[in-house]
Every structure is written in structure tokens, then in C-alpha cells.
Amino acid sequence: MSQDKGFLPLDELYREVILDHYRRPRGRTPLPRVDVTAHGRNPVCGDEIDVALALADGHIEAARVTGHGCAICTASGSIMAELLPGRTTGQAEEAAEAFRRMMHGEPPPAAVDLGDAELLEGVQRFPVRVKCALLPWMTLRDALAAHRAGAAPTVTTTEESDP
């Protein structure tokens, strides 16, 4: 199978780094304390994730992404959890927006470093899977927006109209 993929660029979807994040997801250890939480669910896929953040001085000290989803959703959440610590909440929101733009084929702002998340760019070629990659990031975006507004934790889906 991995020797012959026909005409489908499967390896652009399942890059080695993505498979590695899927097999050994990062950001699963419990946080010392939880300041921000949000839930993401895509009922059509059956994917459910929880994003939790520990904050200190406007910075993300630690991030945790748990739940169950496909390889793309799981890897995307793992990469995000690895990327967030040390960033301000504002920078995290910028990263979520940059990721959203990338997944929609729009150029992300050059100033935003998406790290390994840039490897998810190939998911664009599999339109039905874009929502899988987006779920952790859009859940993060909604979580931070709600936190900023002092609102209750959010529930995010990426299965409806374009997030």
C-alpha cells in the first residue's frame, strides 16, 4: 500500500510528522491548573475534543488537548498543544486565525510561526478533511475569545458553514 498510492497524494495528507503526532499525541498530560477550557465536536465525524489552557501573566503556560478523533484531528491538536506554550493569548488567537487562513488556501501572515502545523497544509487537497484539521484551532479560537469576554466555555464545530 505505501509502495503504491495510485494517483492520490495520500502522503501529503498523512505526512510522517503528522502520523507521528497521531501515534504519540503531545499535550495529553493533566495541567497544574485550568484557566481556559472549551469543547469541540464534529457530530458527523463523531470527533470530540477538549482544549484546556493554563495561563500566567497573559501567556499560555501549558496546553492540553484531549478527546478522540481521526488522525488529522488528533495530530492537529497535538501540534497545537506543542506550539502554544510561551505564546500570549493574543498570539495564540493570531496563530489560530493564520491556521484557518492556511487551511482555506489564503496566505497566512508571514509574522506568525505555525511550526509543524504548516505540514497540515496538504490537507487542503482533501476538502472533506479540512474540518478535521481545523477543529482544535477553532475550538482554541472560540475558547480564547470567550475568555477575553468573560463568557462561559464554548462548544465549537467545524462542520457547519466555513469557520
* Region binding other proteins by CB under 8 A among candidate stretches 15-23, 56-64, 91-99, 150-158: 15-23
- Least separation, in Å, of the C-beta of 148 and other proteins? 31
| Binding test (CB under 8 A) with other proteins, winner from 28, 30, 33, 44 | 44
- Residue 107 found at the interface with other proteins (CB under 8 A): no
Q: How far is CA 35 from the centre of its chain?
A: 18
Nearest distance from C-beta of residue 5 to other proteins, angstroms: 6
Residues 70/47, Cβ–Cβ less than 8 Å: yes
Residue 151 CB neighbour total at 10 angstroms? 10
Please pick, from the candidates 17, 34, 54, 70, the single residue that binds other proteins as defined by CB under 8 A.
70
- Contact between 52 and other proteins (CB under 8 A)? no
- 49: which residues sit within 8 A by CB, 6+ positions away? 39, 40, 41, 65, 66, 67, 68, 69, 73, 77, 135, 136, 139
CA geometry: angle 49, 2, 22, nearest 5 deg? 20
Nearer to other proteins, 6 or 107 (CB): 6
In degrees and rounded to multiples of 5, residue 17 shows phi and psi of -65, -35
Interface positions with other proteins (CB under 8 A): 1-2, 5-8, 10, 13-14, 19, 22-23, 43-48, 68-72, 126, 129, 132
